[in-house]
Chain A
């Protein structure tokens, strides 16, 4: 009898755990770290009709968080990438998700919190670089931001899956401002992998 009771208690505890957001330590940490990015002196925040744009220190790249109806979106982009042949290249990635709750007060942080609420599996932590990660779904693109932007050189990192550029014939080794090469990261399941990325890093110190 005692054994059955204990088994039931264990099961209940496990179910409880799955629904207990306050024990989501990585989520809590990610929100706190993103809040520090938003409030960084080196990040200029602009309002738009549908959201906000966080402009990176170099002035060319930005991080957008917007809400359009029931769709929320987070994206990063750079508009003025010039290639060797003179063409201008738009570099960026976007991640959209549907939301069913309407926040009375929308801020960049609340949109980020919505990701945690609706798509928690895409938020992770990379121990080696001490970065929180936001996977843009299965696209292979991700946004990384430092746990402590005040002490880490790579405060915000844009990471792009280079496949689409390679297929388009772009010489990924020669994109101004972007670095191409193997980088260690973590998958959604938490496994450490090394893949080729196009990477742009911003120091927010």
Chain B
């Protein structure tokens, strides 16, 4: 089984994307094929015994699109000018030496051009390594010709596309304006517009027709893609929007040629009036306006993906790596895990890593939206693209290339932008059937009017008008553009939405369940009280408890360990460690058997709490978590740990309740502590003492009440609940597993982002519905008019040129409406 990603070029609408996907899926050997229209990529999985990637490419090219394999991330190409070669044996020798080097996949040295073209695996060998090989062979590697990276190439390609469309439009306009004037000016009733005598239609009809034809040709050339793509799609029985334009304008042109013939024979037949039945200007204006629409689309689409481009542009291109005590500036692609990197004040962090020396403040706002710079010192993590404010630091690279947080975010946003929300399938389905239906209505209107006795030209005009106005491009753009802008906007605010589906469901959420520790609270509990039973001293109790918790990942345990470390306590050796989920831990230390955990654990092991029960209750009512410690089967004391509620938690919950969302809290903590925390933040519904494996069940219970439930969590134990919920929201400061299970990731720990995510979802869905409404409105209102239905009852008829105006306007208005989402700002309570 093979997986490849193909870059698809030439798709103009979702109908094109659907055609590519469906065609590839039907091939024998294809296991799955998923197209991402926005990113212009097709992910295909196939059985290499039955199918070859070239066969897939051939089929796509046959449909009329380009298909190129995406360069794998473990393959790079570089062209290095070589100095010092004197003959072809030098180049031959160097080529051999390079080819033998591990990590180099292919090397070709050209003596004539004095260049070496090398394909290599950057994971196995760096550029510096390749240079070293060249030097060792006795030659000099000169300044490398920098190949544009994928981002630059993509940006350049898109800019070139937009520029080409603009030039085509300008050429079209230059010829279309005089064409339109020549065709229309004599028809203006009662007004004598200036007109060249030599081409007066009723005096020199042949001159007039020839002039119109000559002016039309460059317009058709400028819009030739509509014809090549459109007719090919029609031939392949997958008509798309280009097919409609090609059919409509070709019908107008063919009829005009027929009128041209009548004029030519006019000297003997007297058919000079055929000059009034030339429709070159109709075809010309339609092509010109559609080109304008396409250009505006390309510009606007570029803006909808500005967020992702902005993210991509954040990372610096070079890094200062300390090698052998020297500072070496190198391309970021060459930075390896483990490299020590120097970052000066004002510079951007190049890759993810951990500070090993120095301290500074880092601005992480472009990643998390957090506006306050964060202090960093040795041991703290730093992330690519964040800005070093005032100090100089050395840090060790831990994640490079596609593993950095930035790269992960970009991939996430890109995937989300290309994913389909359920509401989008409505637009896609309609688009798919719309084109054939439009062709049918067009043919029917032509035949109906001709049979009804109207001149053939009348039927022709309705035919052309229906085809043009029925173009479903606005419908196809309605959802993806809003999702692109919405997810991009979310990324700006530190809200990473993984899919269009998540974006759509979020706005329907009725109940949100918050995990307590690390979500509502800071997740950094501290020891507040140590109460001993008479059998042990305070310090001994702390020493035992801390020694037991040393290996624990639980925040409560970490608080105890931290407390002991602060008091410079010596830790005892752990002989045996067992975690009892939802209860606590059982540990065998040197000469001591200890149990640390909650009341449930003590009850189950039959350990009487004695007088400590009252103390425990008091502590719980204060919002603290009492952890019981038993030594050798006897209760030894209580260590109370308290976790501070996040500053934003109260406001966030107020904000959610204001928009009608029910808020609940779920925790494994005891009921009294949970209730105290819930009271602080204004939550009424508390699900306490819930075992990790039961969290998902509790979420399901809420769902069984008929509600759409979102779960907000951060820990490994929240993962099942996050996956169970209709929308799982992971706090960015949480674990990778939680983030993997969630549908939305909040880069900030601020719970106000939850409210912002819901507001963004509502705004995006509202925008999509507006777009669909406008797209549908244009088509449904104007198709009957174009077909002449209103004309039959004395109403207006839609001229094909006005149909083209309306069609371009519909795409532009949908795109412009989607761009309004860029103004989205989360409302605070």
With A13-B210, A13-B214, A127-B272 as given contacts, are A28 and B267 in contact (CB-CB < 8 Å)? yes
Q: Is the interface of A mostly helix, strand, loop or mixed?
A: helix
Which of A29, A125, A189 has the largest count of B CB atoms less than 10 A from its CB? Answer: A189
Check if B214 sits within 8 Å of A26, measured CB to CB: no
Q: Is A23 positioned at the interface, with any CB of B under 8 Å from its CB?
A: yes
Interface string of A161-205 (1 = CB under 8 A from B): 000000000000000000000000010111100000000000000
With A25-B267, A147-B270 as given contacts, are A17 and B207 in contact (CB-CB < 8 Å)? yes
Q: Which of B14-22, B109-117, B197-205, B599-607 contacts A (4 or more CB under 8 A)?
A: B197-205
* Chain A residues in 8 Å Cβ range of B218: 3, 6, 10
Interface string of A1-32 (1 = CB under 8 A from B): 00100110010011001101001111011001
Contacting residues of chain B (152-187) with chain A, CB-CB under 8 angstroms: 171, 174-175, 186
* Chain A residues in 8 Å Cβ range of B206: 23-25
Q: Is A117 positioned at the interface, with any CB of B under 8 Å from its CB?
A: no
Min CB gap B395→A, angstroms: 55
* Chain B residues in 8 Å Cβ range of A155: none
Contacting residues of chain A (14-68) with chain B, CB-CB under 8 angstroms: 14, 17-18, 20, 23-26, 28-29, 32
Check if B266 sits within 8 Å of A25, measured CB to CB: yes
Contacting residues of chain B (510-566) with chain A, CB-CB under 8 angstroms: none
Check if A18 sits within 8 Å of B198, measured CB to CB: yes
* Chain B residues in 8 Å Cβ range of A24: 204, 206-207
* Chain A residues in 8 Å Cβ range of B264: 25
Check if B192 sits within 8 Å of A189, measured CB to CB: yes
Q: Is A153 positioned at the interface, with any CB of B under 8 Å from its CB?
A: no
In the assembly, what is the distance between CA of A20 and CA of B264, in Å? 15
With A28-B267, A130-B270 as given contacts, are A189 and B195 in contact (CB-CB < 8 Å)? yes
- How many residues of chain B are within 8 Å of chain A by beta carbon? 32
Min CB gap A185→B, angstroms: 11
Check if B267 sits within 8 Å of A32, measured CB to CB: yes
Min CB gap A57→B, angstroms: 24
With A14-B211, A17-B198, A127-B272 as given contacts, are A190 and B267 in contact (CB-CB < 8 Å)? no
* Chain B residues in 8 Å Cβ range of A186: 202
- How many residues of chain A are within 8 Å of chain B by beta carbon? 29
Contacting residues of chain B (265-282) with chain A, CB-CB under 8 angstroms: 266-268, 270, 272-273
Check if A189 sits within 8 Å of B272, measured CB to CB: no
* Chain B residues in 8 Å Cβ range of A188: 203
Check if B266 sits within 8 Å of A189, measured CB to CB: no
With A6-B218, A10-B214 as given contacts, are A125 and B197 in contact (CB-CB < 8 Å)? no
Contacting residues of chain A (118-138) with chain B, CB-CB under 8 angstroms: 120-121, 123-125, 127, 130
* Chain A residues in 8 Å Cβ range of B266: 25-26, 29
Check if B199 sits within 8 Å of A190, measured CB to CB: no
With A10-B214, A14-B214, A191-B186 as given contacts, are A123 and B203 in contact (CB-CB < 8 Å)? yes
* Chain B residues in 8 Å Cβ range of A25: 204-206, 263-264, 266-267, 272
* Chain A residues in 8 Å Cβ range of B267: 25, 28-29, 32
Residue of chain B at shortest CB distance from A6: B218
Check if B270 sits within 8 Å of A29, measured CB to CB: yes
Q: Is B215 positioned at the interface, with any CB of A under 8 Å from its CB?
A: yes
Check if A3 sits within 8 Å of B171, measured CB to CB: yes
Check if A124 sits within 8 Å of B202, measured CB to CB: yes
Check if A26 sits within 8 Å of B203, measured CB to CB: yes
In the assembly, what is the distance between CA of A158 and CA of B175, in Å? 43
In the assembly, what is the distance between CA of A4 and CA of B273, in Å? 34
In the assembly, what is the distance between CA of A73 and CA of B397, in Å? 101
Q: Which of A124, A130, A190 contacts B186 (CB 8 A)?
A: A190
* Chain B residues in 8 Å Cβ range of A121: 197, 200, 203
In the assembly, what is the distance between CA of A32 and CA of B267, in Å? 9
In the assembly, what is the distance between CA of A10 and CA of B198, in Å? 15
Check if B272 sits within 8 Å of A125, measured CB to CB: yes
Min CB gap B767→A, angstroms: 40
Contacting residues of chain B (197-245) with chain A, CB-CB under 8 angstroms: 197-207, 210-211, 214-215, 218
In the assembly, what is the distance between CA of A23 and CA of B192, in Å? 25
Q: 16 interchain pairs (CB within 8 A)?
A: A6-B218, A7-B174, A23-B207, A23-B210, A24-B204, A25-B204, A25-B205, A25-B272, A120-B203, A121-B200, A124-B203, A125-B270, A189-B202, A190-B186, A190-B200, A190-B202
11 more contacts with CB within 8 A, not counting A18-B196, A23-B207, A28-B267, are A14-B198, A17-B199, A17-B207, A18-B199, A25-B267, A26-B203, A121-B197, A121-B200, A130-B270, A186-B202, A188-B203
- The 10 lowest CB-CB distance pairs between A and B, nearest first, are A190-B202, A18-B198, A127-B273, A29-B267, A17-B207, A25-B267, A28-B267, A147-B270, A23-B206, A25-B266
